[in-house]
Amino acid sequence: MYDCHMHTKLSTDSVMDADEACETAIRIGLEGVAFTDHLDYDFPGQESFLVDFEKYFRMIEELRGKYGDRLKVLSAVEAGLQPHVIDRTQDTIRTYPFDYVLASVHIVKGEDPYEKAFYSGRTKKEAYSLYLEAIYKMIGKLESFDMVGHLGFVIRNADYDDRTLRYSDHSDLLDMIFKELIDKGRGFELNTGTYRDMRPDAEYDLHLLKRYRELGGELICLGSDAHQARHIAIHFDYFAHLLRDAGFEYTVHFENRKPVFDKL
Ligand SMILES: [Zn+2]
Ligand SMILES: [Zn+2]
């Protein structure tokens, strides 16, 4: 298996040493990892969610030299999208030879769904719809990306008794997202780290995966979103099982921006 989403300490919100990440990945038997450090232009209150990519690519080369015979080390970026920074983000993505581009929404209309304030005064349906609408708009505008990050980002800090993102509550929007991704030959990641402090069997709705598969969706990857080595590949066994239940036979990782299929 490949863990397609993790952050080294080049990202300001991560403390993970890249060597420790590679050593951990080898120890637990992963075939490869993608280092998706952050590119978030105009992140409210935090200008520095930007990585020095010259330094980043030197790090990747060093890691490949050290671990390349035991682990595939993929260069990647997690691009945080807001409508007014799409062109700049696109330019940066095109400047560097990434293996993989993960497109995520972290900010919705200037508000951060990671903060509890995003949910106050909004019903669960309103708050989650806002997030999914932002994703739908982003994938219509961004040309150069491979997969969409964490569809369920909103559940991490949502203040509702039942946080689960359910297909049946947002079937119109989710169908629009799935169809757009399938039409464009793209997919989405199953962000296992979202369920780090939860019980995924209780809080992940299998119908999301089943519906995506039913519409013809094939591209799906697993990403832990680890910011610490102990979170690498978290819940992968559970979600691999769930993917098989939903009818998937493969996950995918990206090399040189092309999908490579890995048997589940
Ligand atoms: Zn993210
Ligand atoms: Zn991330």
Q: How far from the centroid of its chain's Cα atoms is residue 159's Cα?
A: 22
Query: What's the residue count for the chain?
Result: 264
Looking at the CA of 227, which ligand is closest? 2
Q: Hey, how many other C-beta atoms are within 10 angstroms of the C-beta on 189? A: 27
Ligand 2 centroid–CA 78 distance in Å is 6
Q: Which of 217, 193, 223, 211 is nearest to 76 (CA)?
A: 223
Ligand 1 centroid–CA 262 distance in Å is 23
Sign of the CA dihedral 123, 168, 191, 48? Answer: negative
Ligand 1 centroid–CA 118 distance in Å is 16
| pLDDT value of residue 47 | 61
Ligand 2 centroid–CA 39 distance in Å is 10
Q: Which two tokens stand for residue 211?
A: 């519906």
What pTM was computed for the model?
0.96
Total domains, the chain: 1
Ligand 2 centroid–CA 225 distance in Å is 5
Ligand 2 centroid–CA 66 distance in Å is 24
Q: In the 8-state DSSP scheme, what is residue 262?
A: E
| pLDDT value of residue 49 | 74
Find where tokens 């819940």 sit.
235
Q: What is the CATH number of the domain that holds 173?
A: 3.20.20.140
User: What is the spatial distance between Cα 135 and Cα 173, in angstroms, rounded to a whole number?
Assistant: 10
- In this prediction, the residues of the chain whose per-residue pLDDT falls under 50 are none
Evaluate whether 13 touches 38 at the Cβ level (below 8 Å): yes
Looking at the CA of 7, which ligand is closest? 2
User: What is the spatial distance between Cα 193 and Cα 47, in angstroms, rounded to a whole number?
Assistant: 25
Ligand 1 centroid–CA 84 distance in Å is 18
Looking at the CA of 77, which ligand is closest? 2
| pLDDT value of residue 201 | 84
Ligand 1 centroid–CA 149 distance in Å is 6
Q: Amino acid identity of 74?
A: L
Ligand 1 centroid–CA 174 distance in Å is 19
Ligand 1 centroid–CA 43 distance in Å is 12
Ligand 1 centroid–CA 15 distance in Å is 15
User: What is the spatial distance between Cα 3 and Cα 86, in angstroms, rounded to a whole number?
Assistant: 26
Ligand 2 centroid–CA 36 distance in Å is 7
Ligand 1 centroid–CA 105 distance in Å is 7
Ligand 1 centroid–CA 154 distance in Å is 11
Residue 169 sits in which domain range? 2-263
